[in-house]
Amino acid sequence: MKISAIVTLKENVLDPQGKVVNQTLKNMGYSNITEVRQGKYFEIQLNENNKEKAKKIIDEICKKLLSNTIIEDYTINIKQ
Amino acid sequence: MKISAIVTLKENVLDPQGKVVNQTLKNMGYSNITEVRQGKYFEIQLNENNKEKAKKIIDEICKKLLSNTIIEDYTINIKQ
């Protein structure tokens, strides 16, 4: 099963990388871009046919390794 | 309008970051994880109400700034 996880900084946490991209786009002439926030994307392939079990494993992995839950949020999507 | 862009390495391009995450998960005991690939996630807020126009702008931005199309693919999703 293929599952994706997206890890983003929480809304109230400063995102310098996103700000740099935003400023660069403005400098390139894209004046209608108002905000950019950057995050991490993970595509995980795992041997587990039960959707619920797979989701539980990825949730655990997100909490333990892929995200810092103090400053980051994550969302999980089953892809296939 | 809020649009997300996900930039990932092409299938045939080596992904050392993903490999490190994969190995770490194996070391943590997650033996059923077979592959991890890492990518970048961007959430872009832009002043444009026309979905097609917005998508075209983000497509341009992905090509020009957010991705290296020689080794990376990108996908665009309109969020709201």
Q: Which residue of B has its CA nearest to A38?
A: B42
The whole-angstrom distance between residue A17's C-alpha and the CA centroid of its chain comes to: 14
- How confident is the model at residue A16, as a pLDDT? 97
Question: pLDDT tens, A1-43?
Answer: 999 999 999 999 999 999 999 999 999 999 999 999 999 999 9
Rounded to 5 degrees, φ, ψ at A17 are -60, -45
- Does B44 sit within 8 Å of A40, measured CB to CB? no
Pairwise CA distance, residues A58 & A79, whole Å: 13
Q: Name the class of domain A2-78.
A: alpha beta
- For B43-64, what is each residue's pLDDT tens digit? 999 999 999 999 999 999 999 9
Q: Return the pLDDT at A61.
A: 97
For residue B14, give how far its alpha carbon lies from the nearest alpha carbon of chain A (Å). Answer: 14
Over residues B60-79, the pLDDT tens digits come to 999 999 999 999 999 999 98
Determine the Cα angle at A10 with ends A9 and A12, to 5°.
120
Instruction: Compare all CA atoms of chain B with the CA of A61 and give the residue at the minimum distance.
Output: B25
Give residue A79's pLDDT band: very low, low, confident or very high (50, 70, 90).
confident
Test A36 with B45 for CB contact under 8 angstroms: yes
Residues of B with Cβ-Cβ distance to A61 under 8 angstroms = 25, 30, 33
In 10 A of CB B39, how many CB atoms?
A: 23
Q: What is the pLDDT of residue B72?
A: 98
A37–B38 C-beta distance less than 8 A: no
Average pLDDT for A63-72: 98
Best residue in A11, A36, A55 for a mutation probing chain B (most B CBs within 10 Å):
A36
What are the tokens at A75?
A: 């969302």
Please name the amino acid found at residue A39.
Answer: G
Pairing outcome for strands A72-78 and A33-46: unpaired
- The values of phi and psi at residue B46, to 5°, are -140, 150
Q: What is the ipTM of this complex?
A: 0.93
Least CA distance to A41: which residue of chain B? B39
Q: Are A66 and A40 in contact (CB under 8 A)?
A: yes
Please say if the pLDDT value at position B80 is more than 90: no
B59 dihedral zone (left: phi>0; alpha: psi -120 to 50; beta) = alpha
% of residues, chain A, pLDDT over 90: 98
H helical segments located in chain A:
16-27, 51-61
* pLDDT tens sequence across B7-57: 999 999 999 999 999 999 999 999 999 999 999 999 999 999 999 999 999
Radius of gyration of the CA atoms of chain A, in A: 16
Helix (H) or strand (E) run with residue B23 in it: helix B16-27
